[in-house]
Amino acid sequence: MRNLKALAFMALAVMLGLAAAVYAANWVGQQGGIASNKVVVASVDVQLGNRLNAQMLSTVDWPSASVPPGAFRDVKEVEDRVLRTAVLRGEPILDGKLAPVGTQGGLSAVIAEGKRAMTVRVNDVVGVAGFALPGNYVDVVVSAQQTAAKGEEPRQISKTVLEHVLVLAVAQEASRDDTKPKVVNAVTLELSLEDAEKLDLARSVGSLSLVLRNQMDKKMVATKGMTKDELWELKQPLQPVSTAAPAPAAPRPQAPRPRAAARSSECVEVINAQRTLNCF
């Protein structure tokens, strides 16, 4: 009896094992039947401005239903193309991340169409303590002497002349992956031709300062600038301090002294036959 039960359990175990094997084989067959295409990806991390070659690229199987737009299937299609943005290892190479065919490598490949790159000299203060990094946006403020009308003295003024300017590079580095502050002596900005002319004039008439702004904030704010007179008006007016000698204090009126009471007369009483009183 015991042998029959053991044989039954063994037969049941074999049947369950066969069912699991059949199910796994069907699942593997279904997965292998998913349509896929070859997609070119980066085999190493590549920084923007670099020219691609075969050693930087490879192809992987990618599900056909999720191939990103602009992807390439053959490595030869992207050889000698220049990257406009940095890509990481395993990331697909897309047409939107590449500069036009024939573009030479370097910073010039990163400049947007219709824009120019211009470098300004900065220090640890002007450069926002090194936080003005590639990929960030800044405003440009100039402090200069404002030309006055005839008969008036020139006024010192600070004015925002450019807003939402993209930082292309700091010193000779254009990588946008680093977030560590870098104190450098030069910053390269991406500008329109008109803004480049404005910046060139601004740095010749006064000193420049960069103002770091939120990357998502694209709102433009028109200001009239700030002069010294307007700056002092924002402060609480000071009370004038007199340097003249203090006026002598007025004499305090003295209370009249009470008059002494009239001294009473001295009298001598003389007693004779009659009592008389003589007073002097």
Q: What is the pLDDT of residues 68-118, one digit of tens each?
A: 888 998 989 988 888 888 888 989 999 888 888 877 777 777 888 889 999
pLDDT category at 237 given cuts 50, 70, 90 is: low
Average pLDDT over residues 29-40: 70
Instruction: State both tokens at 14.
Output: 């074999």
Q: What's the whole-number average pLDDT of the chain?
A: 78
**DSSP per position, 119-151:** EEE--TTTTGGGT--TT-EEEEEEEEEEP--TT
Q: What are phi and psi of 36, to 5 degrees?
A: -140, 160
Q: What burial class does residue 137 get, using C-beta atoms within 10 Å of its C-beta: 0-12 exposed, 13-18 middle, 19+ buried? A: buried
Residue 223 confidence (pLDDT) above 90: no
- Widest Cα–Cα separation across the chain: 178
Average pLDDT over residues 147-169: 82
Question: Which is more confident, 138 or 243?
Answer: 138
CATH of domain 36-108: 3.90.1210.10
Q: Are the beta carbons of 70 and 93 closer than 8 angstroms? A: no
Residue from 58, 54, 53, 52 nearest 40 by CA = 58
**Residue ranges, CATH 3.90.1210.10, the chain:** 36-108
> Which of 47-56, 85-94, 140-149, 242-251 shows the lowest per-residue confidence on average (mean pLDDT)?
242-251
Q: What is the value of pTM for the model shown?
A: 0.59
